[in-house]
Structure 1
């Protein structure tokens, strides 16, 4: 009997400890605060993203093949997602609000794609800028001919400061001239998207 009481006390103490001191997730951006309303049907923790070398498009072991079929309507890359419930890019400022990050499903027209291997793409924002879309854990790429296609992306949108060197690297990947690359002289505040899935709409 004493053993059962001792076991119950220890179990209660362990549960109380984890409730009072939850382990912090390892995330590239701030998670949505506890108790915050979910956005567009999502309220999970921010997923772990790619490391800096992978974000800059560097090769490494275990990365997906760069042989990707041309973009076709209905094709998905990464996690299988549907267009149901996707918000237009114009609704992103409202969905994000004053927070640093929000998990959403968005639809927009791909305006640029990494021409080295399809490891990122961009979607135009409501204010005429570009939101760079990277892929969770560097686990998948998209076709290099995806530019001009309407797509749905599911994942995390967040605000970030992109270093000058990374901006120059992206410009090279996009096929910009040496002069255009050299014209990038400072870090830039941008909206970034870490996608776990991409679907071609048309």
Structure 2
């Protein structure tokens, strides 16, 4: 009799567990399906309220050298530092300007093999003047040829971004 009661209790617990798994809250099930998985670097952040690359292009276009704006936007990675992952450039549609992203306080790096991947960056956007020396350093880190590096001869004005955090879409 004792064994019979134990078997009944065991079968009942299995059946009730299976019912709980199949009786999921439909809203929770939908949320699980729609959430995009991201890997986080730097400051914890969420993907909500992120501008598109097109919207960010307009924000950059309104800046002058020395201006800054706090922003968060989604785009794809064009290139990454091959030495450490200590900087990256991002795609802005229909421009020759790829924002150079550096990481706040050199406090985190991103993987070195994420070209083409979607990211969300949050931080401060600005326009900067980049010296010839810095341009050559970045070109070397990006794996450019000696000829390409030597061709750099003028300071350039470029879009910059100091990221507090990065979300890498998985």
Category of TM-score, reference length = shorter chain: 0.7 to 0.9
Give the conservation status (yes or no) of the 8 Å contact 2:103–2:164.
yes
CA contact 2:131–2:156 (8 Å) conserved in 1: yes
Match of 1:145 in 2: 113
Q: Does 1:115 align with 2:79?
A: no
Q: Secondary structure at the match of 2:99?
A: strand
Q: Could you tell me how far apart the structure 2 residues matched to 1:98 and 1:131 are?
A: 13
Deviates most, 146-155 or 92-101: 92-101
| Residue aligning to 1:36 | none
- How big is the shift at 1:98? 4.1
Instruction: Please give the per-residue CA displacement for 1:16-68, whole angstroms capped at 9, x wherever unaligned.
Output: xxxxxxxxxxxxxxxxxxxxxxxxxxxxxxxxxxxxxxxxxxxxxxxxxxxxx
Large movers: runs of 4+ above 6 Å:
none
- Aligned 1:35-50 pairs, distance under 5 A: none
Pair 1:78 & 2:46 matched: no
Aligned residues: 130
Per-residue CA distance 1:154-176 (angstroms, 9 max, x = gap): 00000110001000000000001
- Choose 1 or 2 for highest CA Rg: 2
Return the offset for 1:128: 3.0
Q: Tell me if the contact between 2:121 and 2:163 (Cα under 8 Å) persists in the aligned partners.
A: yes
User: Secondary structure in 1 aligned to 2:100?
Assistant: strand
Relative contact order higher in (CA < 8 Å, ≥ 6 apart): 2
Structure 1, unaligned stretches of length 5 or more?
1-72
| Corresponding residue for residue 168 of structure 2 | 200
What secondary structure, in the 3-state scheme, does the structure 1 residue paired with 2:38 have? coil
Secondary structure, counterpart of 2:139 in structure 1? helix
- CA-based RMSD: 1.3
Q: Deviations over 1:112-147 (max 9, x none)?
A: 000010000000223132110000000000000111
Q: Which residue of 1 aligns with 2:152?
A: 184
Separation (CA, whole Å) in 1 of partners of 2:58 and 2:154: 28
Query: CA separation in 1, counterparts of 2:85 and 2:63?
Result: 31
The offset of 1:93, in angstroms, is: 3.9
* Higher strand residue share: 2
Please give the per-residue CA displacement for 1:66-98, whole angstroms capped at 9, x wherever unaligned: xxxxxxx51110011111111112112433534
